[in-house]
């Protein structure tokens, strides 16, 4: 066996991206995935519009205990491809300020990676995703690579101009929606198993073990590194062990810190990566709400949706922001958009941010166990009043922009989902930082305590910008996989 073999844990977008990049660098990879199949759904896409979509359901995940906001949502389903079985596919890049501006608040909010370092990896990720977008930079949203170009319709440009006056961008939401016509037995065009891992299957250096729930990482005190992953093999109902030169943890933003806590040993008694007590802290998420807007004059039905970017960092709180995704209602609205027809109502989804803080965390439960006998994971998070005020302020802000653009808008229905977990954008519990004082991993996602272990999902996020996280997760995973491959070549 090649002694450079890397074990990647998790087959969601983060793990799949890391695996692809390691294989491209000639490094043998074994992906361990607790799920056994993708979750099936259905997608009918005609002329660039998703006319019918059936998504597989999620279930309340076992092995978690909620202690913050009692409404905290922890629904999840373990499967090949992770949450990309369910996702929408919105893939905006973070902008340069998103990585640096938090420093105004405190140095702990400065990412150890810059936009320009990440840009080539955004490109690598985007080239796997068959994205529809308008490839032109707008304020707070750099353009990325896209396969399919789409410009926001002409009559919406007045809104774009009023947004620009306030330093905001308005453009097509970059969407990993696939080619114009699709008929699929899954609910999403991009699924990280179908679009990445399945294509690696032909490679001799690639191995996928499904039904393999990784329980803990095994630290060798003499070698000062992790030497194996211990997993529950569902086929034989036994515990097994797999050794490797390095381990890429990509179990998602709650399960990755859980795995590190489970890996406590005599040298790391409170969890691997937790020598400074930071593991689990700074958990964050996006509050979100959805509303319907009626306008007094017809305007072209929007599909794919448009994206209104955050207020400029300099003119607003650097870490409290909102983004607006504006789109057509239902199938009829999408069909109307195909023929350039107008509508008098549309839907808006808003994502807000929270400032990551120590008091929001995950940690091992003191008294509850999971099905494997490890402590359940306590999830403690809530949205403070300033976070809720910020997202509710987004309503009037959009109505003001519409007014400037010549439309009188009224919000008809609000579907508030202002409790943690509904966006499925958790992050931060194994954060990256240039200093171990503020970070669990370094700038290449390596645990300060165990550099042959990388954490590459959104648990590594230093802050949570208002943008959907997955593209940035994938870019970080590709970058750190490249660095790991370089390290292994030098061995
Ligand atoms: C309805 C919905 C819509 C969304 N829309 C968007 C969107 O438009 N844009 C966006 O950016 N994001 C979106 N998201 C979020 C997006 O799906 C996630 O950010 C993304 O899937 C995270 O990828 P990941 O690889 O880090 O984690 P996951 O996708 O959670 O993958 C983790 C993988 O690890 C496996 N695993 C977990 N624990 C273990 C273990 N112990 N051993 C072995 N395997 C394990 C899981 O089964 C899973 O396959 C959406 C999510 C949902 C639910």
Q: How close is the Cα of 457 to the center of ligand 1, in Å?
A: 9
Predicted confidence (pLDDT) at residue 446 exceeds the cutoff of 80: yes
Q: Which of 69, 9, 4 shows the shortest CA–CA distance to 455?
A: 9
Give residue 239's Cα distance to chain centre: 30
394 touches ligand 1 (CB under 6 Å): no
Q: How close is the Cα of 14 to the center of ligand 1, in Å?
A: 8
Which has the higher per-residue pLDDT, 347 or 330? 347
* Ligand 1 pocket, mutate which of 74, 75, 212, 252 (most atoms under 8 A from CB): 252
Which amino acid residue places its CA nearest to atom 3 of ligand 1? Answer: 87
Closest approach atom of ligand 1 to CA 259: 41
Which amino acid residue places its CA nearest to atom 2 of ligand 1? Answer: 87
pLDDT at residue 417, rounded to an integer = 82
Convert the pLDDT of each residue in 272-291 to its tens digit: 999 999 999 999 999 999 99
pLDDT at residue 1, rounded to an integer = 57
Q: Which of 160, 436, 135, 108 shows the shortest CA–CA distance to 284?
A: 108
Closest approach atom of ligand 1 to CA 467: 11
92 touches ligand 1 (CB under 6 Å): no
Convert the pLDDT of each residue in 298-332 to its tens digit: 999 999 999 999 999 998 998 999 999 999 988 99
Q: How close is the Cα of 230 to the center of ligand 1, in Å?
A: 22
CATH number of the structural domain 1-49+74-94+109-131+182-278+430-491: 3.50.50.60
Q: Which residues contact 253 (CB under 8 A, 6 or more apart)?
A: 426, 427, 428, 429, 457, 458, 459
Convert the pLDDT of each residue in 141-198 to its tens digit: 999 999 999 999 999 999 999 999 999 999 999 999 999 999 999 999 999 999 999 9
254 touches ligand 1 (CB under 6 Å): no
Predicted confidence (pLDDT) at residue 118 exceeds the cutoff of 70: yes
Structure confidence at residue 395 as a pLDDT band (50, 70, 90): very high
pLDDT at residue 172, rounded to an integer = 98
- Report in angstroms the alpha-carbon separations of 450 from 5, 31, 119, 125, 221: 17, 20, 27, 27, 11
pLDDT at residue 342, rounded to an integer = 96
14 touches ligand 1 (CB under 6 Å): yes
pLDDT at residue 330, rounded to an integer = 87
84 touches ligand 1 (CB under 6 Å): yes
Angle at the Cα of 207 from the Cα atoms of 202 and 211, rounded to 5 degrees? 125
* Ligand 1 pocket, mutate which of 230, 424, 453 (most atoms under 8 A from CB): 424
Which amino acid residue places its CA nearest to atom 47 of ligand 1? Answer: 78
441 touches ligand 1 (CB under 6 Å): no
Domain boundaries, the chain: 1-49+74-94+109-131+182-278+430-491, 134-173+288-352+384-417
18 touches ligand 1 (CB under 6 Å): no
Closest approach atom of ligand 1 to CA 81: 49
Q: What is the mean pLDDT of the chain?
A: 96
Determine contact, residues 323/464, Cβ cutoff 8 Å: no
For residues 13 and 117, give the distance between their C-alpha atoms in angstroms, rounded to a whole number. Answer: 20
Closest approach atom of ligand 1 to CA 79: 47
Q: How close is the Cα of 176 to the center of ligand 1, in Å?
A: 15
Which amino acid residue places its CA nearest to atom 21 of ligand 1? Answer: 83
Which amino acid residue places its CA nearest to atom 9 of ligand 1? Answer: 90
Q: How close is the Cα of 196 to the center of ligand 1, in Å?
A: 14
Quote the DSSP letter at residue 459. G
440 touches ligand 1 (CB under 6 Å): no
Quote the DSSP letter at residue 195. I
């Amino acid at each position: 066996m090649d002694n450079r073999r890397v074990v990647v844990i998790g087959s969601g977008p983060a793990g799949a991206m890391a695996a692809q990049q390691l294989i491209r660098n000639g490094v043998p990879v074994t992906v361990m995935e607790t799920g056994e199949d993708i979750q099936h759904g259905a997608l009918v896409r005609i002329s660039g519009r998703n006319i019918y979509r059936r998504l597989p359901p999620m279930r309340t995940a076992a092995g978690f205990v909620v202690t913050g906001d009692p409404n905290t949502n922890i629904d999840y389903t373990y499967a090949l491809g992770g949450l990309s079985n369910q996702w929408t596919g919105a893939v905006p890049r973070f902008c340069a300020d998103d990585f640096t501006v938090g420093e105004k608040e405190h140095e702990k909010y400065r990412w150890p990676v810059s936009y320009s370092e990440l840009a080539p990896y955004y490109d690598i990720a985007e080239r796997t995703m068959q994205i529809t977008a308008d490839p032109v930079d707008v304020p707070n949203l750099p353009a990325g690579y896209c396969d399919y170009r789409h410009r926001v319709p002409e009559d919406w440009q007045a809104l774009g101009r009023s947004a620009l006056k306030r330093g905001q961008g308005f453009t097509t939401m970059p969407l990993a929606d696939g080619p114009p016509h699709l008929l699929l037995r899954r609910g999403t065009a991009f699924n990280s198993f179908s679009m990445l891992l399945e294509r690696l299957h032909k490679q001799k250096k690639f191995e996928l073990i499904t039904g393999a729930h990784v329980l803990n990482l095994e630290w060798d005190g003499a070698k000062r590194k992790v030497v194996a992953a211990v997993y529950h093999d569902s086929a034989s109902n036994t515990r097994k062990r797999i050794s490797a030169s390095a381990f890429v943890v990509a179990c998602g933003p709650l399960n990755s810190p859980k795995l590190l806590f489970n890996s406590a040993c005599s040298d790391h008694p409170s969890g691997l990566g937790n020598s400074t007590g930071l593991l689990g802290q700074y958990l964050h998420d996006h509050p979100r709400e959805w509303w319907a807007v009626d306008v007094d004059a017809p305007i072209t039905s929007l599909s794919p949706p448009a994206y209104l970017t955050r207020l400029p960092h300099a003119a607003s709180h650097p870490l409290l922001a909102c983004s607006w995704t504006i789109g057509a209602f239902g199938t009829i609205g999408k069909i109307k958009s195909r023929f350039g027809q107008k509508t008098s109502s549309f839907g808006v989804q808003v994502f807000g941010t929270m400032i990551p803080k120590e008091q929001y965390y995950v940690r091992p439960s003191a008294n509850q166990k999971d099905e494997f006998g490890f402590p359940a994971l306590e999830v403690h998070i809530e949205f403070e009043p300033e976070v809720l005020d910020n997202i509710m302020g987004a309503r009037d802000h959009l109505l003001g922009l519409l007014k400037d653009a010549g439309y009188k808008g009224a919000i008809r229905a609000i579907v508030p989902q202002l409790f943690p977990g509904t966006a499925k954008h958790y992050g931060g519990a194994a954060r990256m930082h240039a200093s171990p004082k503020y970070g669990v991993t370094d700038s290449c996602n390596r645990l300060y305590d165990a550099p042959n272990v990388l954490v590459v999902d959104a648990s590594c996020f230093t802050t949570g910008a208002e943008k959907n996280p997955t593209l940035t997760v994938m870019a970080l995973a590709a970058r750190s996989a490249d660095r790991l491959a370089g390290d292994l070549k030098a061995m």
